[in-house]
Amino acid sequence: MVESLNEWLQPNDVINAVNTNNVSIVLEYLKQDGAPNLKEKEMETPLIMLAASKGFTTIVRILMNAGADINAKNAVGWPVLIEASAHGHTEIVQM
């Protein structure tokens, strides 16, 4: 039996959950003390940026409430709000 979700939930699982707008996995990850500022490795993209670039406002709000850095940048220096704006997600920029 798994004692903690984090024992089997790998970073890529959470990244995939954010990329597919799987709110329940993101919530469970954070409930189990998962890091809200986790970054994917290739472009060092924070979870909140992944969600913001796709317009997933619920996940963005959840991550913000969990302490994710809204000013975080990826490896090329793009901040979250610029990424959201570039993809036309003004509702996230206005959050």
**Taking the complete model, does pTM exceed 0.85, yes or no?**
yes
What's the CA gap between 47 and 80, in Å, rounded?
A: 10
User: What is the amino acid identity at position 14?
Assistant: V
Distances (CA, A) of 62 to 1, 31, 45, 55: 28, 11, 17, 13
pLDDT at residue 62 in the model: 98
Write out the two tokens for 28.
């469970």
pLDDT at residue 8 in the model: 66
Q: What is the mean pLDDT of each run of 10 residues along the chain (95 residues)?
A: 54 94 95 92 93 97 98 93 95 93
pLDDT at residue 11 in the model: 84
What's the CA gap between 26 and 2, in Å, rounded?
A: 18
pLDDT at residue 4 in the model: 47
